[in-house]
Structure 1
């Protein structure tokens, strides 16, 4: 099924209009420019509905953990004889590369150092604050994001491969809305999905462009300008479009495997060339503190200290970002997960990346904290003067072969950039061709250009702040859709269990 649907035409036109709106100079529309309007909307959502993001994300974690231990765990995502299409290693590499590759490299060293100097509570720069910094870094990149991905990916894989429904998110809601999802209601749902994907991925592409330019500036002396970032976006866009045209089993598969090899190599180098004992002690301590304090962190608000904007700046942004990424990552993970049981699927998607992410932050963030706390190296100085994008390179500068390893890190960011973007063009192609597993190249080309254009415009309008604003806005309506997806899944599982019992009694 390669039919281009009206979702494609409507969402493509609106996205292009959005890009045109972003190009209009601020002095032409002083109160109606893109940056001004989106900032107002974002401020309203965070002030009034921060609790909604918090409760929703925690609900997805509870639901995902329930599925692992529930009686539905043995249901296969496909027909009874279906076997998994990819090995465990390739499967983990693909979902990990799509799931959060650029973000891990960007924030691996920057986030713990940022929390160390501006903690959610406590005195900055103390040993206790260093523990809190690691604990919250693991919290933001642990079970919560992967629970969102697992929930949506499971729904899409279940309905696509077991129920033979179209591979679009509106089809997942048929148990709740019936055939209305085939009309205007379904079109609206799928358009929201497309926009969440475009701007969720644009945020990551923006982070990637900022960090590549930051690395080129810090390591090789390039002038870090918006022009350099635009050039990077153009070059990487050409590369990921070439990759996207080669299909899922060539470009994306090979690059995903290359990503995971490069990432593990970088992490192992930093682990063994750096303070190994300190890092492993920190990993053990931080992971234990994360598990112990997970319930408290999951519900933490500051009702008696409303001026504390830490949660708005960090937790609410991350929760919105993960929700905005869910349609993209969920669709992609679903596509590569046929043949696995629900228990196997949810356990793999939830636990393996969470543990790997904890080790990653312990190595990169732990190295940065070790330099600051024990050796007097002021990594935060570079963050304050230049930005979060240079934190990793400031850390690598104090390692053996620092320049060479920094070049490898820039290459890793580029490959993550390419895999995230070409996976997104594939997903957008699926969502706008009625769920086709093999969307036409011309459709992928259009979406590739649009998401790069959106990333460039958001960067031009306000850098990191504009990227974060876009994520928080588009995540709000999709969070409501995600909650409906949970209820739809539960209803479908109950119906399947009832049918199974009826069949068993007849035999």
Structure 2
């Protein structure tokens, strides 16, 4: 009677809809077994302190160890502790706003003076790491099984990337930033030609590659483990290779609390800046009195709209707002370009981008160590923005991962650090250079207003264009959409951080999203009372500091699993040329079989019958012959969501990674153009082969029993080639960790090659 496979065995197949029902724990390896590579060897016992995964089979236990409940459940510890921290801070800021601002300023001054280098170094390493991932061989790895493809079309995906990661704060700083850097630069005299050349570039730098690299790092790490390994879409899952099952306990809860609190403060800062800016716009459009009362009213109104949009989910509310947001921003930019100083703005845009590219490496590591009093400028600008991106990183990363299943790592990273960044550059350059043009014309009143009151300066610039009220209305709408997009995404992700969600495509319950939307609004009001935008900058810089630790841990964890992906790739390359290729290539068929396949789109009943008549007997024969030759074999089956038993063949390899051959029933759309003259149905069913890295990309339908057996052996030989490569790898990785400590490695039995008995556990 075959045993039911364990959850970790099924998760590695990564087939859509595959569920392990009534799964039992995997059988332990015997202490002394026959080795496929010759002789016998003893599997050393794991030490008690060895909690982190040290092999691929250990990593496959992730879904089983991280998923505590089969359905969405609230993590009450994370929810309560995070809420208490935020509520306590809000009460403190509301009751004693003066003391709160003074304390935060002193803390920020200390961080800027003593830890500025740490923030700068962290962002530099993050940028370098994501670029290395994108341009390495592992850049072809997908956020999901090998056969997965993107869910959203490119234009929609890019729009959602841009709108989720950019907030209304960019409009706020697009005018005041260049003007301040021109009049009060970090080094040298203000109001000079050199200061003018750098003024816009500094703001482009602060809204450029660094922030999107943080988003890309956390997004690709969480998406990789969720969609390729079947783990929850969370920070703790991304750290599983580094920390093991400890991420499910207090350590993992602590990491989630840090990410959650940082996210709330980051979103609250964006909301606060947004209502300060929209406060002016609504006053100009509707004649309302500017002030704290209008700002609080805007916060309340925005929360109501956020709740309505957030509860509709990512596929409706957020996607619709994202696309509308992008088009409104495009319309605003075109209007400014056409009605403003067109030639000057285009010339300046090209020069700004060139200056950014040339000076980017130096700016990335710039700390102004030799400039007296530079810590104040660093704290107000570069360090604030770096902290802002780090605080936003977890929540934007989760959102980007949610919309990027099926994308390759290279595609994900390059898109994230180019397309949205270029859009940022255009917005910052057009607004910033329009403002600088006014300063160059001697408009000192505007310059002073932009420095002292950025929100007033932004709208003062819009009033200088033809058709000012139309532009103000369009800009206010664009700002409102920027604000709503960030608030919607934030509420959704906050609920995910405070809940345990086994399915990455699901979100936290609606009431939890509403709770976080309301609590974020309370924090926003508290910081407005404590000092407005300046207090928000202080809080962001302070609470983002622990998030830097998460960034380092994620880089170490993701590097560890990418080494495993490289071992997988190299193992395939080392196969003998006479062997048929795997992964994306079907077994060799006769010409009649190939012709028949062009017009065959089997129903579910036909696929199930073929599975029982041809595939199951073939796997049974292979399993029987493996046993006859002394292998440890498991022939089992899993039941998919449709109640169909899908066969699974597993061959144990001692302490090496086991061989897995799993045939799954996969639904696929019937192509519009095919050899079939008519189309009675929109879908057909394939029998796809899955191994540890996902689908091989081919269909077994129509093969003979002997061809299925040949395919199993081809896959098995490829697996041996992979193990041969991994066993020759001297460096430590997830697949080939360091040798056990002295005293744990047994001597090789007599007559056995010691090299063949190498332990990889």
Relative contact order: is structure 1 or structure 2 higher (C-alpha 8 Å, sep ≥ 6)?
1
Aligned counterparts of 2:536 and 2:562: Cα–Cα separation in 1:
37
Larger radius of gyration: 2
Partner in structure 2 of residue 341 of structure 1: 408
CA deviations 1:214-237 (Å, max 9, x no partner) are: 223456554321111111101111
Asked if the contact 1:241/1:445 (under 8 Å) is kept, the reply is yes
Partner in structure 2 of residue 241 of structure 1: 307
Partner in structure 2 of residue 174 of structure 1: 240
CA deviations 1:386-411 (Å, max 9, x no partner) are: x1112221111111110121111111
**Residue of structure 2 aligned with 1:431, choices 497, 511, 524:** 497
Aligned counterparts of 1:57 and 1:468: Cα–Cα separation in 2:
18
Over 3 Å counting, the alpha-carbon distance change for 1:15 and 1:312 in structure 2 is closer
Aligned counterparts of 1:214 and 1:376: Cα–Cα separation in 2:
21
Aligned counterparts of 1:503 and 1:165: Cα–Cα separation in 2:
26
Partner in structure 2 of residue 370 of structure 1: 437
CA deviations 1:322-371 (Å, max 9, x no partner) are: 11110111111111100000111101001111111111111111111112
Q: Is the aligned partner of 1:488 residue 2:557? A: yes
Aligned counterparts of 2:305 and 2:532: Cα–Cα separation in 1:
23
**For structure 1, which segment, 14-23 or 344-353, has the greater mean C-alpha deviation from structure 2 after superposition?**
14-23
Over 3 Å counting, the alpha-carbon distance change for 1:344 and 1:66 in structure 2 is same
Q: Is the aligned partner of 1:9 residue 2:80? A: yes
TM superposition score normalised by structure 1: 0.95
**Residue of structure 2 aligned with 1:355, choices 422, 430, 433:** 422
Aligned counterparts of 1:45 and 1:468: Cα–Cα separation in 2:
13
**Residue of structure 2 aligned with 1:446, choices 478, 495, 515:** 515
Aligned counterparts of 2:287 and 2:403: Cα–Cα separation in 1:
41
Partner in structure 2 of residue 405 of structure 1: 471
Partner in structure 1 of residue 391 of structure 2: 324
Partner in structure 2 of residue 302 of structure 1: 368
Partner in structure 1 of residue 255 of structure 2: 189
Asked if the contact 1:215/1:390 (under 8 Å) is kept, the reply is no
Report the alpha carbon displacement of residue 47 of structure 1 after superposing the two structures with TM.
1.6
Report the alpha carbon displacement of residue 434 of structure 1 after superposing the two structures with TM.
1.7
Aligned counterparts of 2:469 and 2:325: Cα–Cα separation in 1:
20
Over 3 Å counting, the alpha-carbon distance change for 1:38 and 1:374 in structure 2 is closer
**Residue of structure 2 aligned with 1:468, choices 527, 534, 537:** 537
Give the secondary-structure state (helix, strand or coil) at the position aligned to 1:101.
coil
Aligned counterparts of 2:311 and 2:347: Cα–Cα separation in 1:
45
**Residue of structure 1 aligned with 2:145, choices 62, 79, 82:** 79
Over 3 Å counting, the alpha-carbon distance change for 1:482 and 1:79 in structure 2 is same
Q: CA RMSD of the aligned region, Å?
A: 1.7
Report the alpha carbon displacement of residue 11 of structure 1 after superposing the two structures with TM.
1.6
**Residue of structure 2 aligned with 1:392, choices 444, 458, 463:** 458
Report the alpha carbon displacement of residue 294 of structure 1 after superposing the two structures with TM.
0.8
Give the secondary-structure state (helix, strand or coil) at the position aligned to 1:438.
coil
Q: How does 1:40-79 map to 2 (within 5 A)?
A: 40-79=106-145
**Residue of structure 2 aligned with 1:23, choices 85, 94, 106:** 94
Report the alpha carbon displacement of residue 208 of structure 1 after superposing the two structures with TM.
0.2
Aligned counterparts of 1:397 and 1:126: Cα–Cα separation in 2:
27
Asked if the contact 1:218/1:390 (under 8 Å) is kept, the reply is no
Aligned counterparts of 1:101 and 1:153: Cα–Cα separation in 2:
18
Task: Write 1 or 2 for the structure with the bigger share of strand.
Answer: 2
* Structure 2 gap ranges (5+): 1-70, 576-716, 719-761
TM superposition score normalised by structure 2: 0.64
**For structure 1, which segment, 92-101 or 298-307, has the greater mean C-alpha deviation from structure 2 after superposition?**
298-307
The aligned length equals 501
Report the alpha carbon displacement of residue 43 of structure 1 after superposing the two structures with TM.
2.3
Asked if the contact 2:180/2:451 (under 8 Å) is kept, the reply is no
Asked if the contact 2:82/2:261 (under 8 Å) is kept, the reply is yes
**For structure 1, which segment, 114-123 or 339-348, has the greater mean C-alpha deviation from structure 2 after superposition?**
114-123
Q: Is the aligned partner of 1:88 residue 2:88? A: no
Aligned counterparts of 1:445 and 1:102: Cα–Cα separation in 2:
21
Asked if the contact 1:219/1:403 (under 8 Å) is kept, the reply is yes
Aligned counterparts of 1:202 and 1:155: Cα–Cα separation in 2:
25
Aligned counterparts of 2:451 and 2:117: Cα–Cα separation in 1:
30
Asked if the contact 1:167/1:434 (under 8 Å) is kept, the reply is no
Aligned counterparts of 2:187 and 2:566: Cα–Cα separation in 1:
47
**Residue of structure 2 aligned with 1:159, choices 225, 228, 237:** 225
**For structure 1, which segment, 39-48 or 163-172, has the greater mean C-alpha deviation from structure 2 after superposition?**
39-48
Give the secondary-structure state (helix, strand or coil) at the position aligned to 1:392.
helix
Aligned counterparts of 1:40 and 1:214: Cα–Cα separation in 2:
30
Partner in structure 2 of residue 458 of structure 1: 527
Asked if the contact 1:109/1:391 (under 8 Å) is kept, the reply is yes
Aligned counterparts of 2:340 and 2:444: Cα–Cα separation in 1:
14
Asked if the contact 2:201/2:352 (under 8 Å) is kept, the reply is yes
Aligned counterparts of 1:96 and 1:395: Cα–Cα separation in 2:
24
Give the secondary-structure state (helix, strand or coil) at the position aligned to 2:544.
helix
Report the alpha carbon displacement of residue 276 of structure 1 after superposing the two structures with TM.
1.1
Aligned counterparts of 2:271 and 2:413: Cα–Cα separation in 1:
27
Give the secondary-structure state (helix, strand or coil) at the position aligned to 1:337.
coil
Report the alpha carbon displacement of residue 502 of structure 1 after superposing the two structures with TM.
3.9
Report the alpha carbon displacement of residue 40 of structure 1 after superposing the two structures with TM.
2.9
Report the alpha carbon displacement of residue 374 of structure 1 after superposing the two structures with TM.
3.4
Asked if the contact 1:181/1:187 (under 8 Å) is kept, the reply is yes
Asked if the contact 1:208/1:413 (under 8 Å) is kept, the reply is yes
Aligned counterparts of 2:554 and 2:539: Cα–Cα separation in 1:
23
Asked if the contact 2:138/2:565 (under 8 Å) is kept, the reply is no
Give the secondary-structure state (helix, strand or coil) at the position aligned to 1:338.
coil
